């Protein structure tokens, strides 16, 4: 199949591009590089010996979208491009609605103009909101996430549902990611956030490599076994393979219409202290940390029920916490400054 991947130069997008090429799909990447560079794409080409066509453009730029859809007949679109920093979204809500919501509408309109029906969307566990009971199940209603970022994911899921109701040809899949971490097992691809990392694993890995002095553990008094928050961490290559599974499921089900949501997680809750211990064990590097105040907006504990993806897509997370930590460390130690040295 020929697949348009928006945001394909980013963290999850680049790993998915690799998984798609490994399954002999053709890939065109569309990315404005606001949070990425072309280096991972060059590395993927070197790893696979396959060409990736790259368009530098913004998903809100209708002419740029028409150029790429005009140049290729796509079988499907996988839509990663978005702004994703939860804290920043409370400071710059309009930028988040502009890129994540308006940008998604521009993309769906371009698909409609060019008669492309198959759409896989990067959604998030945050769509369940703050009141949902764990483990999260796809049959639960969309909630009210506290951040503008989370609200954009709920809105795009609503837009997909409304569009599907009006356009009987549309075939949409929402993949609700839990906490993707880790890196490709080669150490060639990984997560390279700009500035101070917001997320746990990139911060921890930068402490381990000596770029930061210590990790602040946000909250030690949650009602969990060790007082720190529980999350459902999954390996980014498992997540990437969730996308190829969804793409293949759509292709194998030509009668499928409308939208379908799938949780992509392991089904296990793991604490921040568990993560630190697993990382130290895998890397052999001590990680200095201190217990700091809670971070606003954090929930104590959530994890997925991932049975639907297993039953319908035949997808299950295969890589364990030890492998996630080994691969995080391989990436960070081989690329202490991320992609910026090239
Ligand atoms: P990322 O920032 O590494 O990747 C996003 C990519 O989109 C970047 O390459 C960026 O340059 C590009 N982009 C941003 N705005 C664009 C625009 N207007 N036009 C074109 N390209 C644009 O982030 P990621 O972690 O790989 O996340 C990918 C997707 O998955 C996002 O939609 C994110 O919201 C979603 N998601 C991420 C996580 C996570 O923990 N990383 C969890 C749940 C959902
Ligand atoms: C994990 C745990 C922190 C950093 C976010 C988004 C979510 C999704 C994934 C996009 C929490 C703790 C963190 C640190 C810490 N993104 N922590 N010290 O908040 O579960 O999810 O990313 O869709 O929508 O909200 O991930 O990695 O930021 O935090 O103690 O320096 O690590 O408190 O318990 P989170 P995270």
pLDDT in tens, 166-193: 999 999 999 999 999 999 999 999 999 9
Q: Whose CA is nearest to atom 41 of ligand 1?
A: 180
% residues pLDDT > 70 (the chain): 99
Q: Residue 198 C-alpha to ligand 1 middle, in angstroms?
A: 14
- Digit-coded pLDDT (tens) for 193-215: 999 999 999 999 999 999 999 99
* 232 touches 304 (CB < 8 A): yes
For the segment(s) 2-181+233-265, the CATH number from 3.40.50.1100, 3.40.50.720, 3.90.1150.10, 1.10.1240.10 is 3.40.50.720
- Indicate the domain borders of the chain: 2-181+233-265, 200-229+268-309+321-341
- How many angstroms does the Cα of residue 199 sit away from the middle of ligand 2? 5
Give nearest CA residue, ligand 1 atom 16: 81
Reading the block at residue 337, the tokens are 């400054």
Of all atoms in ligand 1, which is nearest to the CA of residue 35? 11
Ligand closest to Cα of 54 equals 1
Q: What is the DSSP string of 283-303?
A: H-----EEEEPPPTT--SB--
Q: Write down the pLDDT at residue 342.
A: 46
Alpha-helix residue ranges (DSSP H) falling in the chain: 11-22, 39-48, 62-71, 86-91, 93-96, 103-113, 148-166, 200-208, 236-252, 272-283, 307-308, 321-334
For the CA atoms of 290, 296, 302, 306, the dihedral, rounded to the nearest 10 degrees, stands at: -110
Active site residue 149: yes
Closest by CA position to 187, among listed 81, 315, 43, 286: 43
* Domain 200-229+268-309+321-341 in CATH 3.90.25.10: yes
Distance 6 CA to ligand 1 centre (A): 9
> Which tokens is 11 given?
């963290």
Q: Do domains 2-181+233-265 and 200-229+268-309+321-341 have the same CATH topology?
A: no
């Amino acid at each position: 199949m020929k697949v348009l991947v928006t945001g394909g130069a980013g963290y999850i997008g680049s790993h998915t591009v690799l998984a798609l090429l490994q399954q002999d799909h053709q890939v065109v990447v569309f990315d404005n590089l606001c949070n990425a560079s072309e280096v991972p794409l060059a590395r993927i080409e070197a790893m696979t010996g396959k060409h990736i066509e790259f368009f530098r453009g913004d998903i809100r730029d209708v002419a740029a979208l028409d150029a790429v859809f005009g140049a290729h007949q796509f079988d499907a679109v996988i839509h990663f491009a978005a702004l994703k920093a939860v804290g920043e979204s409370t400071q710059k809500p309009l930028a988040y609605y502009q890129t994540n919501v308006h940008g998604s509408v521009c993309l769906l309109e371009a698909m409609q103009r060019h008669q492309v029906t198959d759409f896989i969307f990067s959604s998030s566990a945050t769509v369940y909101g703050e009141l949902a009971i764990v483990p999260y199940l796809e049959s639960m209603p969309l909630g009210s996430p506290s951040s503008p970022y989370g609200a954009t994911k709920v809105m795009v899921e609503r837009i997909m549902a409304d569009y599907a109701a009006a356009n009987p040809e549309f075939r949409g899949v929402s993949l609700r990611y839990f906490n993707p971490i880790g890196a490709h097992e080669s150490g060639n691809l990984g997560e390279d956030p700009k500035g101070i990392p917001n997320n746990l694993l990139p911060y921890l890995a930068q402490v381990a490599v000596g770029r930061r002095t210590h990790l602040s553990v946000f909250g030690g008094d949650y009602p969990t076994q060790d007082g720190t928050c529980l999350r459902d961490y999954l390996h980014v290559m498992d997540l990437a393979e969730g996308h190829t599974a969804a793409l293949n499921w759509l292709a194998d089900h030509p009668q499928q219409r409308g939208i379908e949501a799938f949780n992509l997680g392991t089904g296990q809750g793991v604490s921040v202290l568990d993560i630190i211990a697993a990382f130290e064990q895998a890397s052999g590097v001590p990680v200095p940390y201190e217990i700091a105040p809670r971070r606003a907006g954090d929930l104590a504990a959530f994890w997925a029920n991932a049975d639907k993806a297993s039953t319908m897509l035949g997808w299950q997370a295969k890589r364990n916490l030890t492998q996630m930590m080994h691969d995080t460390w391989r990436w960070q130690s081989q690329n202490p400054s991320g992609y910026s040295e090239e």
